[in-house]
Structure 1
């Protein structure tokens, strides 16, 4: 395992982070504990979750992921050995069961979210507390263009930072990050922290994979480099499309077949399917599995602090971790870039 430092925090984490959003939906509590045990055996020290998990989000299962991690932490006694990250849900009318739909990123909601996450996780502190998506209007989850017509009332960034600072002082959270953020958002979080003496964000958890490389072209990579904000890359396999399992078998078991087709339509776009087929052919031509190549590419990008991987089986988890040792030859990287140039960001 390789390790890196989160932003300017001095906190070391594994380059591979265990994502857990399948715990409680596709994985039982026993499955979750087995994955956590195996991940730590392989050197993973970084675990990511969220209050709204598992996915797909449902009132009946919300919070189960954190509860499964909490029961594992209690059973294993390994809290001190992991860097634990979770997230607070932002405004979303479709998540009306999370705090009764009161999901603004204000003091009352963030405090309530932190307290319930601590209870479910059975811990006294959260190492990295993240805003799952912005309070303001911003294109996320498949929307690619900013639309001023969708402006809405939102909590000021400095107000959100202020309560996070109070929770830091109380010892309930240690470091903070954002997720699904824009270049403007990162810059504004940094500016308000510096102007008002508030806590500085250390990480940004954004979509990044072979079909979604917008992070490279939106100035986020330069902004985050200069401001020492680490990228936590999520969905590196594009909901399984980059494993080619759906290409090989359209009815393969996974999120794309067990969840409603309209839940994440971006991964069903013709461009994504075409790109996934070309990347799979390239990987196989060079003696790699499609998943191995997609993950190895993500693991070695200079601006990726840690890559969040998820799995429903230990065999998948093993393959995903093993890809860390794969070295991509320069000609393979050149061919990846050529495919990207012909089919740029279909999954963004």
Structure 2
């Protein structure tokens, strides 16, 4: 994954910007203008010396940190959300990730509130300085207010269009920079499920039909680029094949879980699929701190008054995979590595993700400004991590490969 340390002056004085802005298809003129504005916005003054990376085959140049938002509207007020947004942008973060289903845990009474909070903040900013990534829900038979008819959500033309119209309204914008499928329409092993269960197979919306629905929205100027989330190698390859075969929009990103505790799913074969020599699909990694576990705060079983507000304690059963005893052992081992090298566990975990060659951007969310500042500051750890630190990390990894499984 190519990355750059750049300033507006460097960009303006080089031929690189023209190359970055070269289009890969025949988008309409208005779409081209929006792309140019976005790339200029991506190189706003940076206090934290963040790197910026081109997202797949898109013209989006995104900061190596993406601001996560899924607690806004449940654990965070709108004022707190706006404080986080303003601080993140002051540090050079230019991309935020949200979803039509946020906040999480998903509830009919709060669904969509996160996008509303973002929309109210975006009104105070130049639109072309903000890269907005949101998501359309995959298959779900839960009764929610996601759709007007209250029925099952699918990744088909009707549902995609309704989802986009709803997100545009809540966000108060006329286009979405990156629209992602939150989870697949077909059955896949998700959120801690260990392996594929063929007995759970169900009919699903064809990949071509999904891309055709996105193509309509792109042609209308409502969506610029598309991506996927919680995908497998099979799914990404099918999307890429359908795109090439039928001249349909290409996915430019995948959003998957990746951290010191969750590595194998991506590293085994998704790395090859997404590599720039093959699919050229950028990784937007979520849960780089494994739901807060890699802060080290869950190591002790002692329930302090303040810990009742911690996410995994507030919602029993939520992300239960991070509360396994083997996870605790792995976290303790990584904590010792961090101490050995005079680092905090947060610094070790985030710098590890930062330095992966396949990483486009790490999605970092926080429920407090203190956490957000600590997480962003972790990117000031000298890069790359030393060989000794990498070797110590690999030694722990050999003992605890993916302890959440």
TM-score under structure 1 length normalisation: 0.97
Highest Rg: 1 or 2? 2
Q: What does residue 169 of structure 2 align with?
A: 119
Q: What does residue 139 of structure 1 align with?
A: 189
Distance 1:162 1:250 in 2: 52
1:190-269 counterparts in 2 under 5 A? 190-225=240-275, 226-248=278-300, 250-251=302-303, 252=307, 253-260=309-316, 262-269=317-324
Kept in 2: contact 1:296–1:326 (CA 8 A): yes
What's the CA shift for 1:108? Answer: 0.4
Which of the residues 378, 385, 393 maps onto 1:323? 378
1:122-201 counterparts in 2 under 5 A? 122-201=172-251
Kept in 2: contact 1:208–1:234 (CA 8 A): yes
What's the CA shift for 1:218? Answer: 3.1
1:277-300 superposed Cα distances (whole Å, 9 cap, x missing partner): 111121122211111110010111
What's the CA shift for 1:250? Answer: 4.3
**Matched length:** 346
1:16-165 counterparts in 2 under 5 A? 16-74=65-123, 76-94=124-142, 96-99=144-147, 100-165=150-215
Instruction: Summarize the Cα distance change of 1:326–1:118 in structure 2 as closer, same or farther, 3 Å threshold.
Output: same
Distance 2:200 2:297 in 1: 37
Out of 23-32 and 265-274, give the one that drifted further.
265-274
Distance 1:224 1:28 in 2: 36
Kept in 2: contact 1:183–1:218 (CA 8 A): no
Kept in 1: contact 2:96–2:133 (CA 8 A): yes
Instruction: Summarize the Cα distance change of 1:94–1:229 in structure 2 as closer, same or farther, 3 Å threshold.
Output: same
Distance 2:186 2:397 in 1: 31
1:150-181 superposed Cα distances (whole Å, 9 cap, x missing partner): 01121111100000001000000000000000
What's the CA shift for 1:308? Answer: 0.1
Helix, strand or coil at the partner of 1:85: strand
What's the CA shift for 1:314? Answer: 1.1
Distance 1:279 1:130 in 2: 32
Which of the residues 279, 284, 293 maps onto 2:334? 279
| Structure 2 alignment gaps of length 5 or more | 1-49
Q: What's the RMSD between the two structures over aligned residues?
A: 1.2
Helix, strand or coil at the partner of 2:83: helix
Kept in 1: contact 2:107–2:144 (CA 8 A): no
Helix, strand or coil at the partner of 2:56: coil
Helix, strand or coil at the partner of 1:13: strand
1:12-50 superposed Cα distances (whole Å, 9 cap, x missing partner): 010000000011011100000000000000000010000
Kept in 2: contact 1:238–1:347 (CA 8 A): no
Distance 1:325 1:229 in 2: 26
Distance 1:101 1:250 in 2: 43
Distance 1:174 1:70 in 2: 18
Helix, strand or coil at the partner of 2:285: strand
TM-score under structure 2 length normalisation: 0.83
Distance 1:66 1:274 in 2: 37
Distance 1:233 1:286 in 2: 25
